Amino acid sequence: MSGARILLVEDEPMIRSVVADLLRAKGHEVQEAGDGESAVEQFDTALEEDAPFTLTVLDLTLPGELSGQQVLQRFRSRQADLPVIIASGYADEAEMQALCADELTQLLPKPYNMGDLLSLVANMLGN
């Protein structure tokens, strides 16, 4: 399970720090973004450098001009096969089902425990 390049998009600094530390402790390379704009910028830079992310953990509720849904659309338009874990406490079940309509997109309801996160990361990375 080691060696994945993960983009963690989470606006809450404490949650972002804890999750990033946990993923790094499991051997992953983690880049962090606190809003949609910086997430898209880091994502595009990784593609330009031919070092795309292996997985993204994406909060849907983000500050700034880009929502989590818009960030997801931009990621998919540039890298259609990117596995994405949507970490959200957002309650619209129909919208969540639409966003998670394929095997590359999985929902991790907030609040979540770290064991569930690690299990889903391993599952999505095929480990």
Backbone phi and psi for residue 28, each to the nearest 5 degrees, phi listed first: -90, 150
Domain that holds residue 32: 5-124
CATH number at residue 88: 3.40.50.2300
Q: Checking DSSP bridges between strand 29-33 and strand 55-59, what pairing results, if any?
A: unpaired
Q: Band the pLDDT of 1: cuts 50, 70, 90.
A: very low
pLDDT tops 80 at residue 98: no
Euclidean distance between CA atoms 47 and 91, whole angstroms: 32
- In terms of C-beta density within 10 A (0-12 exposed, 13-18 middle, 19 or more buried), how is residue 86 classed? buried
> 45-89 pLDDT, tens per residue?
999 999 999 999 999 889 999 988 899 999 999 999 999 999 887
Tokens of 86: 């949507």
Kindly report whether the global pTM for this prediction surpasses the value 0.95.
no
Q: How many domains is the chain partitioned into structurally?
A: 1
- Mean pLDDT (whole number) for 113-119: 94
> 3-35 pLDDT, tens per residue?
799 999 999 999 999 999 999 999 999 999 999
